[in-house]
Amino acid sequence: MAAETAQALVSGSPEQRPRHVAIIMDGNGRWATERGWPRLVGHRRGAERVKQIVRACPDMGVNWLTVYAFSTENWKRSTEEVLGLMKIFRRYIQYEAQGMAAEGVRMRFIGGRERLDAKLQALMSSIEARTAGNTRLNLTVAINYGGRDEITRATARLAKKIASGEVTDPTEADFAACLDTAGQPDPDLVIRTSGETRTSNFLPWQAAYAEYEFTPTLWPDFTPDRLAEILDRFGLRDRRFGGV
């Protein structure tokens, strides 16, 4: 879909649109299985869909996009699927780096990196450095990410700051500064595809006041048109943040 079409589909003023959208990209394997194909075919189609959504977001008024690519629990999948996913991640980063830079996308990663292979870690660091000055869209990819794991690691970081005297009377802001997402705005809207209605350990701290949208659409079928429809509905919500 052309960018101008996507923009036209999102109604309401910019103030009514979510600045930060986070997506649990679910349903790749199911999409492939329903067609009699290997699950990895669905993951490859899902990666293509990410590119389309990334290109559409700025023209819809979305400045920050966070996508859940691989959770700390996904290591439980078959060795073949895990290795295939890691290969997809490497290829995506390797071949999208130039396009990201040209389109003004800043790319960052959250999650524990120590379990990822050295080549993937190097590619992640490289594209982060290469796109650090871009401002059109901030894309954050969660790989080996789990909300509880992030909170545990953040607690350890904050404890060290307290022990060193850097922090004496810790606040929520002090804790947030120790999260993987430090310096990033909290998501306004969290979308999960595939019909599941779980949050699956995704951004539990950051999404405390986010609006949620659960759609039956499998991720490979989640077009910019579908995103525009959800952004329209978001504009109709009354967000009071505990007020009246």
Residues placed in the known binding site for Mg(2+): 26, 211
Burial 136-166 (b: 16+ CB within 10 A, else e): ebbbbbbbbbbbebbbebbeeebeeeeeeee
Q: What are phi and psi of 104, to 5 degrees?
A: 75, 25
In 102-240, where do the E strands start and end? Answer: 105-110, 137-145, 189-192, 211-214
Cα(88)–Cα(141) distance, integer angstroms: 13
Which residues are known catalytic residues?
26, 74
Known binding residues: 26-31, 39, 43, 71-73, 75, 77, 192, 198-200, 211
Known binding residues for substrate: 27-31, 39, 43, 71-73, 75, 77, 192, 198-200
